[in-house]
Amino acid sequence: MAELTQYLNIVSVIIQIILFITFIILIVALIKVIKKLSAKVEDLQKDVNKYKDKIDPLIEDTRGVIKKVDNISEKVTQGVDVINDTIKKVKDVTEDIIEFEKEIQRKIEPPVFDTISSFAALVRGIKVFIEKFKGERKKIEENREHLEEHFYSDEIKEEYDEINKELKEVRKKLEEMKKE
């Protein structure tokens, strides 16, 4: 049994030596792997630093572009505000002009229509008076031609034509206003 114990001790020492040598080989291999890993990490760090040096100016340029875009946006907003104010002022002026036109129409139309009606009634009255007074058809025609020659002088015809023209414009504007 002593021999067996001795034999087991030798086997135990040999196993311990083999394990110790294996452990040393494992540590050496691990050190090599760690060195390779460390070298890779250093290369990666160099690459990151290289890209960082390239990215920093891009970030600064991007910040500059963003500032310029903000300035442009602010100026566009101010321009839109100015345009809106101008449109509002034009609208107010247009409304004032339309109101002024309506006021003028309200004040001028009745007297003009009254004047034209009175003028037409006066002409009709004169015609009737002449027809009744003379009684003959021939004399009525002669008187009418005479009356038209003297009564409708060139000045009166021009004024009458101008009044007709203005009335047409007023009617046209009234029609446009009714359509609105």
Domain boundaries, the chain: 2-179
Give pLDDT, residue 66: 85
**pTM across the whole model:** 0.37
How many Cα atoms are found within 13 Å in the side-chain-facing hemisphere of 22? 6
- The three-class DSSP label of residue 179 is helix
Q: Which residue has the higher pLDDT, 132 or 127?
A: 127
Residue-wise over 25-59: b if at least 16 C-beta within 10 A, else e?
eeeeeeeeeeeeeeeeeeeeeeeeeeeeeeeeeee
Q: Among 7-21, 113-127, 156-170, which is the least confidently predicted range?
A: 113-127
How high is the pLDDT of residue 60? 82
Q: What is the mean pLDDT of the chain?
A: 80
What is the mean pLDDT of the segment spanning 144-166?
68
Q: How far is the C-alpha of 103 from the C-alpha of 38, rounded, in Å?
A: 94
Question: What's the rounded Cα separation, in Å, for the pair 148 and 126?
Answer: 11
Region 25-33: what's the mean pLDDT? 95
| Confidence at residue 32, expressed as pLDDT on a 0 to 100 scale | 94
DSSP secondary structure letter of residue 136: -
Q: Is the pLDDT of residue 113 over 70?
A: no
What pLDDT score was predicted for residue 27? 95
Task: Read off the pLDDT band of 84 (50, 70, 90).
Answer: confident
Q: Residue 32 is encoded by which pair of tokens? A: 């090599």
120-123 contacts at long range (C-beta below 8 A, 24 or more positions apart): 123/151
Contact 101, 173 (CB under 8 A): yes
Residue 153 has pLDDT above 70, yes or no: no
Burial per residue of 106-143, b for 16 or more beta-carbon CB atoms within 10 angstroms, e otherwise: eeeeeeeeeeeeeeeeeeeeeeeebeeeeeeeeebeeb
Return the higher-pLDDT residue of 129 and 23. 23
Per the CB < 8 A criterion, the answer to whether 174 and 112 are in contact is no
